[in-house]
Amino acid sequence: MSRRPREQVDYLHLEELGGLEMLKASYFQQEFSRHVHEGFCIGVIEEGAQRFYRTGGNHVAPQGDIILVNVDEVHTGSSAVETGWRYRAIYPTPEIFHELTRDLTTVHGTAPWFREAVLHDEGLAQQLRLLFDLLEQPNNKLLKQTLFLSTIAWLISKYSQTKPQATDLSNAKQRILNIKELMASIPEQEFSLIELAGMANLSQWHFLRQFKKHVGLSPHAWLIQARLQKSQKLLRQGLNLSEVSHQCGFSDQSHFNRHFRQTFGITPGGYTASLK
């Protein structure tokens, strides 16, 4: 007699994203009764298919599709195939959306409303999977916040019934350049998108757009470049690779090596050898 597959559930609470909750689960026999969440459900079916009730009707989401449930919306969930379903999902609250979109349409921001329960959008699904992969890893606070914001912006701009319109902020240039120089002066520090946006007195959404506009890179990409510039100086001073990696804020030496080679076309070890 064959044994039924074991159901697995992992729940993460991401403090670097305002307490955002993330679910990673494999279900076979699970049947969710009608219930609601205090946050939105944004998930991707990674294997099998899920059947669920939402918005007055029944829906089926196969592998690769995106599921959307609005805040406080009654819904269910069960397997649509004998082999069950595996998926990952995040549950951003209205408060998180309000903070992300602050000053876009109103002073206090806005929350989206998604008409469709199931989306077939391969590009967005891939972006969500990249985000989920990153959220499961330690560190990289700024990159996590940046990818989360850009992914949510993509989702809202294409599928929300309430679409914030970003405005031009020409007077933000000097504030952005000041923050760029601050990051360059202490690149080893772990910055967050929330604190950087606060320094510029901008919403996170506006800060990210303005930084890319005036610097040409995202805040995280610029921080990596500032760390690499500092690493060159330390290598020329004779510090060994592990010391340089640590003093420049890289999580480990493999990340340092990869970014150094992608930027300069040579490994840090090769660069050190060339100095001799």
pLDDT, tens digit (0-9, with 9 covering 90-100), for 207-263: 888 898 888 888 998 898 899 989 988 988 989 999 999 999 998 888 899 888 888
Q: Which CATH number fits domain 167-276: 3.40.50.1110, 1.10.10.10, 1.10.10.60, 3.10.180.10?
A: 1.10.10.60
Contact 103, 84 (CB under 8 A): no
pTM to 2 decimal places: 0.82
Segments of the chain scoring below 50 in pLDDT: 1-2
What residue segments make up the domains of the chain, in order of their start? 8-159, 167-276
The CATH H-level superfamily of 8-159 is Regulatory protein AraC (2.60.120.280)
In the structure encoding, which two tokens stand for residue 195, read together? 């604190």
CA quadruple 39, 150, 104, 66: dihedral, nearest 10: -40
Among 81, 78, 84, residue whose Cα is nearest residue 7: 84
Q: Do domains 8-159 and 167-276 have the same CATH topology?
A: no
Q: If DSSP codes are grouped into helix, strand and coil, which group holds residue 266?
A: coil
